Structure 1
Amino acid sequence: MREGARYDLLVVGGGINGAGIARDAAGRGLAVLLVEQDDLAGHTSSSSTKLIHGGLRYLEYKEFSLVRKALKERETLLRAAPHIIRPLRFVMPHMPNLRPAWLIRAGLFLYDHLARRELLPGSRGIVMRRHPAGAPLVDSIDRGFVYSDGWVDDARLVVLNALDASERGAAIETRTKLVRAVRAGGEWQAELERADGTRLAVRARALANAAGPWVGQVLHEALGRGAQHTVRLVKGSHIVTRRLFEHDHAYIFQNPDKRIIFAIPYEREFTLIGTTDVEYHDDPARVAIDDAEIRYLCESINRYFKRKIAPADVCWSYSGVRPLLEEEGAADPSAVTRDYRLEIDTGTNASGPDAPLLSVFGGKITTFRKLAEEAVDLLGEALDHRAPGWTAGAALPGGDIANGQFDRFAARFASGHPWLPAELAHRYARAYGTRAERMIGEARSLSDLGAELAPGLYERELAYLSGTEWARCADDVLWRRSKLGLHLAPGTLDAVRSRIDTWFTRSRSRDSASRDSVFSQ
């Protein structure tokens, strides 16, 4: 990115919707610039429940169109990224005092048949004493249901969309904020500010506001405009405990308040529990779980498991602010739609239509690809650039695994690199897919990977994450590009973070010295 550069499309926001729009637009031949004020997936898009799902509970609110759309996308995404998205079976214990069995069976029948299903098995009833998922549950639960959905590494999904966009010509600028933009001469003239305070101006034929919880702020403060739609900010918090069960199924629990709570196998050694739905009115960048939410999640789990948990058992927690599409009459945050609206404003000037502005309101991670496709359709029409959509059948970087058979791919990768510890080989295969070979480069031994700055984290991977995936500091690596921070020994996080941040500082210094040397020749 340079001062005065001109693009077809400026995308504001490096969450899943912004990255998806940038990818789709770049693949259709548009010159794209994406700016993100923090790290990619730095907020909402790394704070989800990490599910690719139709949204079984949305059937209760008669959101049949949303569920059908999400179920179709579930199949598409499972094919596009089998390394970071995988099938997951869910167990729903039956609680007669909450929802009758016939209603659950009817809902699961709809869930199985609302969209074509090729990759996942259907639902069925189970007797708990005959199923491995019954053992951890209280004895009063004697039956339940099993159905299928998908799990996703949400932050990596964002990064891979940005990476694909970049490889198709898009410019990705993290730690870069849109300060203001105005229409002039049939285009947007935008002022950007980098983290070091430097400012520069760029021009774009169109602007996409995909700022998530900040969508309204960008409209009002940076663009000086209003909108037909608004978002309702809802905080969703999660806790992570040591593993509460040994099998590979997840649980979906019904609460007396009609909310549902998931308990999901996580990072091999842990259980992920969430989520809450709490109205939020503060800065989305400062969101954090509170004591009441932790107690709520613990109490919800304790209704079902024999092994009880308390706030002291929480190893880690995270919160995100979901920008849900505001609707009239939805007092309960849980009942607010997870669908989205795309609002396009073409404006007018003396010579006709002006530079288009597209704003994204709402959405969920499962439907990001469809949202992006529809957004670029609208923008393409406004720009008279009518290239067809292409992402429905395209793999994300690393996802071009033969027949989507991840286990076979991972076994081949491990056997081809016998010098890698088994756990590390599996993590590389899972995180990078077919790009794992590119990540390790010419390494033929652990020593070739460089110094180990944290357990299982070597310099070679840091160099790849820095040079290819926009990582700039320890938290980018430990909590978004991976979840290695969760596996650190108690009390070591600060020291590990310091070592990694020092590595990044030295790496930037070396890069700067190298550039200065080239320019002086």
Structure 2
Amino acid sequence: MLPEQPLYDLWILGGGINGAAIAADAAGRGLSVFLSDKDDFAAHTSSASSKLIHGGLRYLEQGDFRLVREALNEREIMLQKAPHLVQPMQFVLPHAPHLRPAWLIRLGLFLYDHLGKHQTLPGSKTVNLQEATAGIPLKPAYHKGFMYSDCVTQDARLVVAYALEAEQHGAHLHNYTESHSIRRVDGVWEGTCVMRTGEQCQVRSRALINATGPWVRSVLEAVGGQSSAQVRWVKGSHFLLPKWYTGSHAYVLQHTDNRIIFVVPTDANCVLVGTTDVAYQGDLNHIEMDSHERDYLLMVLRTFFKKVPGPEHIRHHFSGVRALFDDATENPSKISREYHLVLEGAEGEAPLLSVFGGKMTTARMLAEHVLQLLRPYFPDMKAPWTHASPLPGGNFLGRTLQSLQKEVAAHYPFVPKACLTRWIHQYGMRVWDLLADIACMSDLGACLQGNLYEAEVNFLRHTEWAICWEDVLWRRTQLGVYFSRQEREQLMKIPF
């Protein structure tokens, strides 16, 4: 049964990056928290990002200096909080003189290097693409380029890490849980939750947080919110291609329409290409990359690279919709990524706080701002704490990813290297929990597909709310992108 408690402090609707980060921060400050999501955690926008933890270089051109400064500071914090999930990467920006002059890019990169505090990543530099390795796959027309540092992440796993942190501090989190008939009753929020099994329970809370992403406006209206704030849906599509160039660096490609395309290695064999930033008005539960987006991304690649794999080589594609605060900007790619927090509630009414917009990078700070707004309702709330606390699995205590892998390999020499490497990057120090009852290879159970073993699936089922194969393949391990359709179908036939 769902946990019964007379009255929660917070009821959070939405288990994406914002909802999970708010739940973790609030629970760590001593508030009682109930979080519910109608689907899996990170089932939508939060697993369909460009997989970056970054300041947002292009936002400087739009004048969003505060956003970039905050994001750069958060990038540094996340490197410390989750070293297994957030790793540095070098980005190469080929210079296209007809798009932006070199002096403007250098100025932007100078600001990018210095806006944030205590930056530990290497600063930007100019590179001669006629001589540098990064220039080899590019067309000879691109003589000059710029290299700067940012970070990549595993977006869905970052959401799960926040959810685990919330649970460790006493929060109750429930995926695949529909919420109905939410309304204010006698100064508190009341509603009904229906689990996937059909089991129901009543939930009551002192405050309600609407962190439902693209559904933020419809939920706000359904619970009786009065705010006139509007949302713009912007679809971003990506696809995975076989990696056709050498080196571990990423590329940032400019286009004449002022959109930016990222080409980011996901491993030694694949690169992620995106995003498209187009207006969207369709079904939020069924979002697909269309042929125009696919052709657009391929066209930008062919503009810069000598040789690019064709559409028949696309291994996987996905799309997500960002719910951005409607600032009346016409071009979807230029709408501000600043988050907006709308707090409602007359004197004596239970507060409703709705989250518009936001970025994967700034979710931790967004959570702090949410709780700052709610402090008058919870004066005994503890002080901010998340900036200095590692996420679950992130307490490396001076270890690096490499030294941790050597340490674990010494204790478990029978675990395949590829499997252990993935586990270290996905679970960090929690790999010890995964392997706690493993004494020999047979204890890992059957190899279900690739390097996915029964022991890992059981670990995800028991500790990370995995309820079905889709949870395991697409969000907990993200192995689904590497399995063939036939391999995925075979796996789905195994009872979960």
TM above 0.5, yes or no, is: yes
C-alpha distance in structure 1 between counterparts of 2:233 and 2:71, whole Å? 22
The residue aligned with 1:518 is none
SS at match of 1:460: helix
Tell me the CA shift for residue 355 of structure 1. Answer: 1.2
After superposition, the Cα gap between the structure-2 partners of 1:212 and 1:296, relative to the gap in structure 1 and judged at 3 Å, is same
The residue aligned with 1:343 is 342
Which residue of 407, 411, 424 corresponds with 1:412? 407
The residue aligned with 1:312 is 312
Tell me the CA shift for residue 194 of structure 1. Answer: 1.9
Question: 1:344 is matched by which residue type in structure 2?
Answer: L
The residue aligned with 1:148 is 149
The residue aligned with 1:112 is 113
The residue aligned with 2:457 is 462
C-alpha distance in structure 2 between counterparts of 1:490 and 1:127, whole Å? 42
Question: 2:243 is matched by which residue type in structure 1?
Answer: R
User: Is 2:48–2:318's contact at 8 Å kept on the other side of the alignment?
Assistant: yes
Question: 1:38 is matched by which residue type in structure 2?
Answer: D
Matched length:
495
The residue aligned with 1:509 is none
Question: 1:168 is matched by which residue type in structure 2?
Answer: H
The residue aligned with 2:417 is 422
C-alpha distance in structure 2 between counterparts of 1:308 and 1:449, whole Å? 40
Counterparts of 1:322-333 in structure 2 under 5 Å?
322-328=322-328, 330-333=329-332
C-alpha distance in structure 1 between counterparts of 2:147 and 2:218, whole Å? 42
The residue aligned with 1:292 is 292
Tell me the CA shift for residue 120 of structure 1. Answer: 0.3
After superposition, the Cα gap between the structure-2 partners of 1:100 and 1:356, relative to the gap in structure 1 and judged at 3 Å, is same
C-alpha distance in structure 1 between counterparts of 2:447 and 2:462, whole Å? 18
> Identity percentage over the alignment?
44
Tell me the CA shift for residue 404 of structure 1. Answer: 5.9
Pair 1:301-2:301 in alignment:
yes
User: Is 2:48–2:320's contact at 8 Å kept on the other side of the alignment?
Assistant: yes
Question: 1:286 is matched by which residue type in structure 2?
Answer: H
The residue aligned with 1:519 is none
C-alpha distance in structure 1 between counterparts of 2:353 and 2:263, whole Å? 37
Counterparts of 1:122-521 in structure 2 under 5 Å?
122-221=123-222, 223-328=223-328, 330-348=329-347, 353-403=348-398, 405-489=400-484, 491-499=486-494, 502=495, 504=496
C-alpha distance in structure 2 between counterparts of 1:404 and 1:234, whole Å? 40
C-alpha distance in structure 1 between counterparts of 2:380 and 2:181, whole Å? 26
Tell me the CA shift for residue 491 of structure 1. Answer: 2.9
Higher helix share: 1
Deviation string 1:51-78 (CA, Å, 9 cap, x unpaired) is 0000000011011011001001000011
Deviation string 1:426-469 (CA, Å, 9 cap, x unpaired) is 11111110000101222122211111111111111111101110
Greater shift, 274-283 or 403-412, is seen at 403-412
C-alpha distance in structure 2 between counterparts of 1:404 and 1:355, whole Å? 46
Question: 2:177 is matched by which residue type in structure 1?
Answer: T
Tell me the CA shift for residue 185 of structure 1. Answer: 1.8
User: Is 2:226–2:344's contact at 8 Å kept on the other side of the alignment?
Assistant: no
User: Is 1:410–1:430's contact at 8 Å kept on the other side of the alignment?
Assistant: no
C-alpha distance in structure 2 between counterparts of 1:404 and 1:447, whole Å? 29
SS at match of 2:319: strand
C-alpha distance in structure 2 between counterparts of 1:124 and 1:404, whole Å? 29
Tell me the CA shift for residue 208 of structure 1. Answer: 0.7
Note the residue ranges of structure 1 that are not aligned, 5 or more in a row: 505-521
Pair 1:23-2:24 in alignment:
yes
SS at match of 1:191: strand
User: Is 1:82–1:404's contact at 8 Å kept on the other side of the alignment?
Assistant: no
Tell me the CA shift for residue 5 of structure 1. Answer: 4.2
Q: Could you state the TM-score of these two structures normalised by the residue count of structure 1?
A: 0.93
After superposition, the Cα gap between the structure-2 partners of 1:96 and 1:491, relative to the gap in structure 1 and judged at 3 Å, is same
C-alpha distance in structure 1 between counterparts of 2:341 and 2:398, whole Å? 34
